Amino acid sequence: MKRNNLLSHSFHALVVREEEQGVFVKQIERQQTDMLPPGEVLIKVLFSSLNYKDALSAAGNRGVTRRYPHTPGIDAAGVIVESDHGTLRPGDEVLVCGYDLGMNTPGGFGQYIRVPAAWVLPRPAGLTAEQAMQIGTAGFTAALSVSALLQSGIQPADGTVLVTGASGGVGCFAVALLCRLGFTVTAATGKIVAMPFLRELGASDFLSREQASAGKERMLLRERWAGVVDTVGGQILATAIKSTKYGGIVSCCGNAASGELPVSVYPFILRGVTLKGIDSAQCPLARRKEIWELMAGKWHGAWPAAISRTVPLADIGGCIDQMLQGKIWGRVVVDLWGQK
């Protein structure tokens, strides 16, 4: 790929450095766009958002980011400044979510990114850059999960849907979307303080993490859920699968609790339960466009503005620490050019 550096811009970015082995520090630093990696499109980032993967990257998780210093941020909404690509032009308003952005490519917690043209999506009409980042990878993943449930044919009349990790970014969007579509939703959450927020999104019942992970010793549990959107994995996902009704579907996108899945084959071979994996990072372009169009169109407004708060770049380090301590609920949008 050609490096397009007609003009070098100076900009601010959150940079994570490994100060000594295993000790990672993060601070806002000044950088130059000619230091960004090669790519066809240089984008001025207006808004980004905080996802769990960003917190892992900022904490030095080598499964997410191999080399430091590094700028996290798997989401970016902004304006093209320079382009070597025929159909993407300076001034175009675009989104970049997923692929390698913020993992091993400097990400959206910098005021500029340079990326391959294949990662760039026009921002759907009907969404401002800030609204697009309110959704971000978390909302997009929730929409993929809900869409998977709908494609399996389940309907509100089939019964209650369980959402796990409900106060998190993916979880809260899943609650809001499902409730808007008419489903009755039970929210599994470890945060009593987040219950009023989840009720506002439409959740009608709650499970504690202990309740949601009960029944370790049993192969099958009482049939409760027509569908499940799981964001945490581990024992909670296993319990959810064992409690899914005959013919029901469980979507699985996350490992916030664990990457393990301690479950037998019986829910699958005796109840015909479907386990559907969800990946947003490498999601094919056509599906990506379809989901963004849903979020900008038919499903637009299924979530209240209170689902997110917007912070300036200077505050993102503190928000990352809160996320790692499990103290955040809802979404955090980052205003790259906003003042503290």
Ligand X SMILES: NC(=O)c1ccc[n+]([C@@H]2O[C@H](COP(=O)([O-])OP(=O)(O)OC[C@H]3O[C@@H](n4cnc5c(N)ncnc54)[C@H](OP(=O)(O)O)[C@@H]3O)[C@@H](O)[C@H]2O)c1
Q: Which residues contribute to the site for ligand X (CB under 6 A)?
A: 51-53, 137-138, 141, 165-171, 189-191, 194, 209, 231-232, 236, 253-257, 278-281, 323, 326
CB of 39 to ligand X, least distance (A): 22
Smallest distance, ligand X to C-beta of residue 158, A: 24
Residues 100 and 325 sit within 8 Å (Cβ to Cβ): no
Largest CA distance in the chain: 64
Provide the minimum distance between the beta carbon of 172 and ligand X in the complex, in angstroms, as a whole number: 8
Least Cβ distance, residue 212 to ligand X (angstroms): 8
- 50/80 with CB nearer ligand X: 50
Residue 79 CB-density burial (10 A; 0-12 exposed, 13-18 middle, 19+ buried) = middle
d(CA 77, CA 99): 14
| 31/167 with CB nearer ligand X | 167
Q: Rounded to the nearest whole angstrom, what is the least distance from the CB of residue 185 to ligand X in the complex?
A: 13
Nearest residue (CB) to ligand X, 39 versus 139: 139
Residue pair 270/219 in contact (Cβ under 8 Å)? The answer is: no
Burial class (CB in 10 A: 0-12, 13-18, 19+), 248: buried
**Residue 205 CB neighbour total at 10 angstroms:** 12
Q: Do 28 and 58 touch, CB atoms closer than 8 A?
A: no
Closer to ligand X by Cβ: residue 252 or 336 = 252
CB of 323 to ligand X, least distance (A): 5
- CA pair distance 130, 127, nearest whole angstrom: 8
Nearest to 52 by CA among 73, 70, 67: 73
Shortest distance (Å) from residue 79 CB to ligand X: 25
Q: Which is nearer to ligand X, 79 or 281 (CB)?
A: 281
For residues 183 and 161, the answer to whether their CB atoms sit within 8 Å is: yes
Q: Which contacts of 294-301 are long-range, i.e. CB under 8 A and separated by 24 or more positions?
A: 294/143, 294/147, 295/124, 295/127, 295/135, 295/139, 295/140, 295/143, 296/124, 296/125, 296/126, 296/127, 297/124, 297/126, 299/143, 299/177, 299/180, 300/126, 300/127
- Nearest-CB residue for ligand X: 168
Q: Which is nearer to ligand X, 11 or 109 (CB)?
A: 109
- In the complex, minimum distance from the CB of residue 71 to ligand X, in angstroms, rounded to a whole number: 18
Q: Which residue's CB is nearer to ligand X, number 81 or number 175?
A: 175
Rounded Cα gap, residues 44 and 82, in angstroms: 9
d(CA 178, CA 56): 28
- Decide whether 71 or 308 has the Cβ nearer to ligand X: 308
